[in-house]
Amino acid sequence: MPTPGSPEVRPGPSGSGPTVTELLDFVRRTARDAALIASLPLDPEGRTWIRLDGPGGSEAWLIGWPPGTGTGWHDHADSVGAFTTAAGTLQEHSLAVRLPTDGWKTLELTDGVDRSRELTSGQGRAFGRNHVHEVLNASVDVHAVSVHAYYPPLPRIRRFSRTGPVLRLEQTESPEDWQ
């Protein structure tokens, strides 16, 4: 499915690095590695993760999601990415709108920008730059596991809160905040 930074377009300014199609192929292939998926320690209270070697210099992660956990609203700045559910089911809520990259704190969203999808084991998706979404495991009793890849490696993540149509920028994180 075409998104900003469509699969045929290389994400790097010099044309280097994997395409979103290559990232999606990688996360799908990795999600089928039963031994790798089983190696992830699962915590009943919080998400767990293992850093992976992604293709072409990309950043990749294997993430465990206890029941009821999620990311909250966020984006991946100038990185394109892909993720696939390897076990369980994840829900993704996203916005079909391009947000300004900087210089704002609060935006009022228009009607019709909300998108939701359920991704069961083996299902995934790719996305372009500045894709705003939240991912969650809505199950009350089943862990989920997913594989994620981003290129270029994440320079920052912006975190948002949302009340109705109002999206508010809450904080900007850099790699040292999550590694």
Share of the chain above pLDDT 70, in %: 91
Mean pLDDT for 133-147 is: 97
Q: Looking at 8-12, 103-107, 128-132, which range is the least confident one? A: 8-12
What is the three-state SS of 129-171?
Answer: CCCCEEEECCCCCCCEEEEEEEECCCCCEEEEEEECCEEEEEE
Classify domain 20-177 at the CATH class level: mainly beta
pLDDT digits (tens, 9 = 90+) for 87-129: 999 999 999 988 877 788 999 999 999 999 999 999 999 999 8
pLDDT at 148 over 90: yes
**Domains of the chain by residue range:** 20-177
Q: Looking at 48-52, 130-134, 138-142, which range is the least confident one? A: 130-134
pLDDT at 12 over 50: no
pLDDT value at residue 34: 97
pLDDT value at residue 130: 81
Q: What is the mean pLDDT of the chain?
A: 90
